[in-house]
Copies of this chain bind each other. A is one copy, B any other.
Amino acid sequence: MIQEPLYIIKVGGNIIDNDEKLSSFLIAFAALKGRKILVHGGGKLATKLANDLSVPQQMVDGRRITDGETLNIVTMVYAGLINKQLVARLNALDSKSIGLSGADANLISAHKRNHPTIDFGFVGDVDQVDAGFLLSLIEQGLNVIIAPITQDKNGQLLNTNADTIAQEIAKATAKHTPTILIYSFEKKGVMMDVNDDTTLIPAINAELFEKLKVEKAIFEGMIPKLENALQAVNAGVKKVIIGDATALESLVEGKTGTTIY
């Protein structure tokens, strides 16, 4: 077994939307040594295209209600435009990359979300990740760039949360090889005061997380991310790092960001 870690890196929407930050991120991603998988969402482009096409959008708990037209829009934007632009830019940085959705080679099996009160439409929840196929591509020296579209066993495409996909991939690859999951975005990491970089919390374990949650000492929007992170660690992921998308090397070396272990 190769002991050098595999990095599963989720890049946040605010980075995708900002061409300068995206360039810095892609340079940092290309420069990061080792085996890498990138999971991206769509930033604001899907919402913009929906507006241009007069397809009304409805968000519930930060999730996009996905009717048939919206599914076509997110498939075009995530698996088409953004995925291929990221691949082309990384290739031009000599960081050879292949872009896939969860449907390709049945990489990520999912089912339509069954919620007791809300009809999310064509939204998928992940059942299984084919880690073996992912690792076979990585062993050929490729970065794998993943768009958050999956499919069910009837051939229905499904819009799927990119944070969850990153977590599920990390849990699956962790069974085969040491895996580090990185949630990279526009902030320095998890902070006591979201507007004050000096309040960065360098490391969080389950015990500290419970304490911070009870004390309401962390930004509420960060709680699901941290719960996801702890769940990944419990499932065998070596560590989860949350931090600045343009400083991947420092994140990996523990010089910045928040490490969940």
Contacts and interface: CB of A to CB of B under 8 A. Distances in A.
Query: How many copies of this chain does one complex carry?
Result: 2
Interface string A179-197: 0000000000000000000
Contacts of A72: 81
Contacts of A105: 96-98, 142
B87 A104 contact: yes
A99 interface: yes
A154 interface: yes
A15 to B, nearest CB: 17
Contact of A155 (B83, B88, B151, B153): B88
B157 A88 contact: yes
A239 interface: no
Contacts of A167: none
Interface string A65-90: 00000001001111111011101110
Given A84-B149, A87-B104, 5 more contacts: A76-B80, A84-B101, A92-B153, A99-B103, A136-B140
